[in-house]
Amino acid sequence: MDDAKAEDLEDDGTSLPVRSTPKKSKAAKAAPTKVKGKKAVVEEEDEEASPVAAAEENEVEEDEDDLKPEDAAKARENLLATLKGSGKDPYPDWKAGDPVPYAALCTTYHKIEMTTKRLEIVALCSLFLRQVLRLTPEDLLPTVLLMINKLAAEYTGIELGIGESLIMKAIGESTGRTLAIVKADQKEIGDLGLVAVKSRSNQRTMFKPKPLTVHGVFKGLTDIALIEGHGSQAHKVSGIMKLLSAADAAAGAKIDITKDKGGPSEAKYIVRTLEGKLRLGLAEKSVLVALAQAVVFHATDYAAALEGKKAKLPTSEALEKGESILKSVYSELPSYEVIIPALVSNEFKLDKLREVCKLQPGIPLKPMLAKPTKSITEVLDRFDGKEFTCEYKYDGERAQIHFVAHDSPLQYATTVPSSGKSAKGIANVFSRNSEDLSKKYPDILAALPNWIKDTTKSFVLDCESVAWDVTEKKVLPFQQLMTRKRKDVKVEDVKVKVCVFAFDLLFLNGEALVNKSLRERRELLHSAFAPNLLEESVKASCEGLMVKMLDGPASSYEPSRRSQNWLKVKKDYLAGVGDSLDLVVLGAYFGRGKRTSVYGAFLLACWNPKDEKFESVCNIGTGFSDEALADLHAKLSAVVITRPKPFYAHSAGTKDQPDVWFEPKYVWEVKTADLTISPRYRAAANEVGSDGKGVSLRFPRFIKEREDKTAEMATTSRAVAEMYRKQESVSKSKGPSVDDDFEY
């Protein structure tokens, strides 16, 4: 493919350069080959890797939500032992063929909430889902979605996002209490779910409502989420009232909210679902493992019933195989709406699932992530003796473009409407978090015909969308990209143009490519598109390098994982802390002097996914311009709350408390000189083992807002702990590996 100069780019600023590849090398065996705009040709091919070598090369960072292999094995053995000891149903009032009672799900929620043992949580989920499959399999999908606190996949855009004020209004109106009393209870108790329990248990009813079912609650919540237009808030309150009015119909006696965290109250869990936080310590990957186990059990029972035989418990090896299959399938096709119906129609045979559930254009998969590094030595050590490639890393927004041509025999998977469909077919642009960005980037969709060759009928493209100066022919800062509107953008109104840097191809013309080597995927990428390559001056605008394994099993694409086979090195990695942190704004302190009219400093926190808490990590007041402070004051004032959430972990000292607290909505990128231990903050306190003291940032500096990230995508406590341990001033012993969601 011939190179093209920067001036050959399309005048509209929306172009598709293949990410530039500065060097490709076999570490310690061949000298790096420098290139200018072109790929270097590697003449020497790797020998085929052995299975053992492949397993070692494909080693990935341990996911915080994943069980260690030894713990996973123990979980399977414990589950089998439990079932051997008792064959009784845990919910005797639930009969075969009846809808799944919402009370049964809430009983499972409560059992999970009362334990911190990961293995026990997985077993509780597995036993419950096994019974759903045995008694009411048609309710499996809404049950799983409620357990992971979702109504649909992220790309559909269907989510609740109900504010406290609406929920409190619904609690008051459904229980006959004034809004003032509900607010007073919330101020005293601090948990709106428990406020609902207290309000509901004090209510007298003339008629006993019909018990709630999982299907009914799921439908009610979905109906609430879909309400739009004039009077939508009143309609949402009405929908919430209907659910709360029927909650705890079978509870009988008054509930004591001071005991057992309020018990298995339906009202409590309905409110927490509306808030978007069940606060159970139940990770989605635990539910996925439990679902796999339940399906293996049910498949064994189902096959035995067809043969008229007594079912036997599956082996631990069968459970392990089932978990592996479902995890693999879900990594390529993360849609329970597709996977669960496929399980049912294939008689719960997981082996068949791989054949019918594969990567499809229209359903975004979670992107492969790179491990941050601090030194070139670390990179060379990792790739010693291996063929690898380097690519420029640009400071933009990770994107995934899906496309199916009108004349393709393949059907586009999703029914989500695309804004500005490509002239050649149906297309969508998805974010790294699977959000549909098609309405934000109609110019990308409009430009697709300029890139796609006639032989390309379907694809999934992994890329970076970067702000582009059409006049100067150069990359613009990330902040410029974030000034674009997120919805209802018209191509003719776009002020900030974009350039799409394509670096990986995951699907082409009906075939998934994730198991192919990076070399093969790159060759197919060049064959499927007609890109423009940028001139050398663009190099100055990159923020670092991506170093990737080029050949062999280790170079396959690993969806949703942060792998050691992709390393990233930023320009500022060699000075101080390796990577910046993405932190959530929890509170603010009133400004003084010239900052009197705005917030002068802010309390920031990292995210602990295991405990589902935001843990304070620093106060910050540096790096802000006067204009930025004014803008942030306006934004944050709109999300002020009266008291910290129950899932905020911060010092109890009065002098350390912010003047105002916020909803956990905004994420900021922050740079720090180093990290230290402090009694004032709670970040990673359980990770570093310092008598309740947490990790704190020294001299933190605001870099930019991260509008592309949700609060749960912030840097995790484990990541903060590892960054602290990696400092030269700290012990040489290595902490646990991290699979945190950094910006790439």
Active site residues: 393
The single-letter DSSP state of residue 677 is E
Could you tell me whether strands 458-469 and 497-508 are parallel, antiparallel, or unpaired per DSSP bridges? antiparallel
Write the burial class of residue 709 (CB in 10 Å: 0-12 exposed, 13-18 middle, 19+ buried): buried
Could you tell me whether strands 581-590 and 667-671 are parallel, antiparallel, or unpaired per DSSP bridges? antiparallel
- Supply 685's token pair: 């306190």
Return the residue matching tokens 């003796």: 385
CA gap 577, 723 in Å, rounded? 7
Calculate the alpha carbon distances from 682 to 65, 192, 226 in Å.
21, 24, 38
Q: Which residues pair with 469 in a beta bridge?
A: 474
- Supply 47's token pair: 């020998």
Contact 378, 370 (CB under 8 A): no
Alpha helices by DSSP H, 276-383: 284-306, 316-332, 336-345, 350-356, 376-382
CA gap 529, 511 in Å, rounded? 16
CA gap 459, 452 in Å, rounded? 10
Contact 387, 520 (CB under 8 A): no
The single-letter DSSP state of residue 155 is G
CA gap 709, 221 in Å, rounded? 25
Quote the distance between the C-alpha of residue 352 and its chain's center: 27
The single-letter DSSP state of residue 68 is P
